[in-house]
């Protein structure tokens, strides 16, 4: 399925997130005496965090997801991911941030405050439990939003009804403990600002085929769900 989504083109901007700040434009020579600003393709970003967890896992995931949504949704994402630290101001350059790992996660006060501001200002965080991350991410996200708890995102939510339909929720990518996959969310003023896939492992499903040798049908379902996440993050105000 191909669908033009204008909000996902290079010139995209979200409330309170300046995509042209600090390097999202570059100079292009058009004539000997003329320089014009040309937009630089938006990158999907990976969140780097402290605590010893392997934030860098699923190394080929974001490049493959970017390629897939460029083909299917006619977007123009860079095929090279960016890495952003949770406490950095650079986080505000990226409307979609991916977080994954197997182990411990630690946010200090600055990290938590920065991530909170990012999310309530229009940013979107996708957390993918690569197995073993669950107790740590729930603990640390409580520092970010003490007043919120993860809720199961109902199958009727738009995140499952975007470019691709998922009437029964998340696809099952990896077995882990053999439980049904669950999509959790944090909601701010009724809007989903953080999506957490548990017992699913979408990020591993986005990896190069030879990494896990998943059936192609499974990879496609993972990529399609990823496309829905991207679509939602860039079009929901």
Domains along the chain? 6-235 (3.40.50.12140)
Q: Stretch 98-127: mean pLDDT, rounded?
A: 96
Give the pLDDT of residue 193: 98
Tell me, yes or no, if the pTM score tops 0.75.
yes
Distance CA 53, CA 16 (A): 30
Task: Evaluate whether 171 touches 218 at the Cβ level (below 8 Å).
Answer: yes
Distance CA 45, CA 126 (A): 10
Q: Stretch 122-137: mean pLDDT, rounded?
A: 93
Q: Stretch 88-113: mean pLDDT, rounded?
A: 95
Give the pLDDT of residue 25: 31
Nearest to 138 by CA among 85, 196, 54, 187: 196
Q: Which residues pair with 212 in a beta bridge?
A: none
Distance CA 68, CA 212 (A): 18
Distance CA 73, CA 91 (A): 24
Per 3-state DSSP, the chain is made up of helix, strand and coil in percentages (nearest 5) of 30, 25, 45
pLDDT digits over 26-63, tens only? 223 333 344 444 467 899 999 999 998 888 978 899 99
pLDDT digits over 152-197, tens only? 999 999 999 999 999 999 998 877 677 899 999 999 999 999 999 9
* Three-state DSSP class for residue 198: strand
Token look-up 């990020």 returns: 203
Dihedral sign computed on CA atoms, order 190, 196, 198, 203: positive
Name which residue leads in pLDDT, 18 or 235.
Answer: 235
């Amino acid at each position: 399925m191909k669908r033009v989504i204008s909000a996902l083109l290079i010139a995209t901007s979200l409330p309170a997130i300046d995509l042209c700040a600090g390097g999202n434009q570059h100079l292009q020579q058009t004539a000997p005496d003329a320089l014009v600003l040309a937009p630089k393709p938006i990158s999907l970003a990976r969140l780097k965090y402290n605590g010893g967890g392997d934030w860098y896992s699923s190394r080929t995931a974001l490049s493959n997801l970017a390629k897939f949504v460029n083909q299917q949704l006619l977007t123009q994402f860079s095929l090279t991911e960016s890495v952003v630290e949770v406490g950095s101001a650079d986080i505000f350059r990226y409307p979609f941030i991916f977080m994954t790992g197997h182990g411990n996660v630690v946010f200090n006060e600055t990290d938590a405050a920065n991530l909170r501001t990012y999310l309530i200002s229009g940013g979107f965080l996708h957390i993918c439990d690569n197995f073993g991350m669950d107790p740590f991410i729930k603990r640390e996200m409580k520092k970010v939003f003490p007043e919120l708890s993860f809720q199961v995102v109902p199958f009727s939510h738009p995140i499952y009804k975007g470019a691709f339909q998922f009437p029964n929720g998340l696809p099952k990518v990896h077995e882990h403990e053999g439980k049904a996959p669950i999509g959790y969310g944090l909601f701010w003023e009724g809007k989903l600002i953080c999506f957490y896939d548990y017992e699913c492992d979408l990020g591993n499903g986005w990896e190069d085929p030879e990494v896990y040798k998943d059936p192609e049908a499974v990879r496609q379902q993972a990529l399609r769900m990823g496309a829905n996440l991207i679509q939602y993050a860039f079009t929901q105000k």
